[in-house]
């Protein structure tokens, strides 16, 4: 019990400052588009867990394990480090490096749009970005990668806490299906995803001018509630502007089509009414 409490305290000491630092300034785990990177976040999480495991085992060996003799033997506490845990850590890093390479190549060749997200007031990024695509909708491949990786991490942490003195917990062969398969599916999704245009923000002002921000707007066609509208594109930012007919008032759905590819529908809501000061 004491060993488990020590391990939990050490985990809090390691993960707490890291989580707080990322919460205040998440730039370390964001991608080239400024959103939270799924592959980077999971690789960092596995790194923190493995460092915690090794430090806890070291502390246990020094205090309760009897010194260096604790680490010796064929079935010592670190016996599965090179055969199981380093490959387990390597998988997320392979996915991270491969995903960044694929995305970088596709962006350079114009087959993928990675528009910058709309800045938040606090500078923090919502955790939902870990399981969402560039349009903000839940991505099934990202969701399964995050969910199954979290289950595997929880499995490792709980079994280690149940027997800290036993060292690195043994992992069944099936555990690789919970780590390797989601990473492969995540990477294949990065390769196969079509370069659809992406709408990150759309708003209509009081003068009836619609502004659509995003990326991948090559020779775009703009529709609002299935009504085509002529749009003007800013060559510097790629932003589209269009004049709304009088009968079109928010809320409505905006779609951009470019190179025959259609963006995810973006729901443009009516601007909230602001209270006028008493005269």
pLDDT digits (tens, 9 = 90+) for 2-22: 888 888 898 999 899 988 888
Rounded distance between C-alpha atoms, residue 54 and residue 7, angstroms: 11
Residue 279: DSSP 8-state: -
- What mean pLDDT, rounded, does the chain reach? 83
Among 39-43, 73-77, 223-227, 250-254, the least confident range = 73-77
Q: How confident is the model at residue 146 (pLDDT cuts 50, 70, 90)?
A: very high
In 3D space, the residue among 168, 3, 164 whose CA is nearest the CA of residue 77 turns out to be 168
More confident residue, 40 or 136: 40
Strand partners, 138: 132
pLDDT of residue 170: 83
More confident residue, 42 or 215: 42
Q: How confident is the model at residue 53 (pLDDT cuts 50, 70, 90)?
A: very high
pLDDT digits (tens, 9 = 90+) for 151-202: 999 999 999 999 888 888 888 767 777 777 888 888 888 887 777 788 888 8
C-alpha count within 13 angstroms, C-beta hemisphere, residue 190: 24
Q: Which residue has the tokens 């592959």?
A: 39
Beta strands in 1-130 (DSSP E): none
pLDDT digits (tens, 9 = 90+) for 77-132: 888 888 888 888 888 888 889 888 888 887 776 667 666 666 666 667 788 888 98
In 3D space, the residue among 144, 250, 268 whose CA is nearest the CA of residue 200 turns out to be 268
Cβ atoms within 10 Å, residue 193? 17
Domain range 198-268, its CATH number among 3.30.2310.20, 2.60.40.10, 2.60.120.890, 3.40.190.10: 2.60.40.10
Rounded distance between C-alpha atoms, residue 137 and residue 266, angstroms: 10
Domain locations along the chain: 2-192, 198-268
- Spatial neighbors of 148 by CB under 8 A, at least 6 apart, are 178, 179, 181, 182
Residue 74: DSSP 8-state: T
Rounded to two decimals, what is the model's pTM? Answer: 0.74
What DSSP element (H or E) covers 254? strand 252-258
Query: CA separation (Å) from 103 to 143, 188, 245?
Result: 19, 11, 38
Rounded distance between C-alpha atoms, residue 279 and residue 152, angstroms: 62
The pair of three-digit structure tokens given for residue 267, joined into one six-digit string: 């729901």
pLDDT digits (tens, 9 = 90+) for 230-265: 999 888 888 899 999 888 888 899 999 887 888 888
């Amino acid at each position: 019990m004491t060993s488990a409490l020590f391990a939990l305290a050490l985990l809090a000491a390691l993960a707490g400052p890291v989580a707080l630092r990322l919460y205040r300034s998440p730039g370390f785990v964001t991608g080239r588009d400024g959103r939270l990177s799924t592959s980077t976040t999971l690789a960092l999480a596995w790194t923190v867990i493995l460092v915690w495991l090794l430090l806890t085992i070291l502390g246990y060996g020094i205090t309760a394990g009897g010194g260096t003799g604790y680490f010796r033997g064929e079935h010592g506490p670190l016996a599965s480090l090179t055969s199981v845990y380093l490959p387990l850590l390597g998988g997320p890093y392979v996915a991270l490096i491969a995903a960044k390479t694929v995305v970088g190549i596709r962006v350079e060749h114009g087959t993928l749009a990675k528009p910058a997200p709309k800045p938040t007031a606090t500078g923090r990024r919502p955790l939902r970005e870990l399981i969402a695509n560039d349009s903000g909708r839940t991505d099934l491949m990202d969701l399964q990668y995050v969910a199954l990786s979290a289950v595997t991490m929880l499995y490792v942490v709980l079994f280690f806490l149940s027997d800290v003195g036993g060292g690195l917990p043994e992992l069944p062969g099936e555990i690789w299906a919970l780590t390797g398969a989601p990473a492969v599916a995540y990477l294949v999704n990065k390769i196969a995803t079509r370069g659809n245009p992406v709408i990150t923000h759309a708003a209509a002002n009081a003068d009836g001018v619609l502004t659509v921000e995003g990326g991948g707007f090559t020779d775009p066609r703009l529709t609002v509630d299935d009504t085509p509208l002529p749009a003007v594109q800013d060559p510097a930012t790629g932003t589209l502007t269009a004049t709304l007919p009088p009968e079109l008032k928010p809320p409505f759905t905006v779609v951009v089509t470019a190179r025959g590819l259609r963006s995810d529908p973006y729901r443009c809501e009516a601007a909230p009414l602001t209270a006028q000061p008493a005269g």
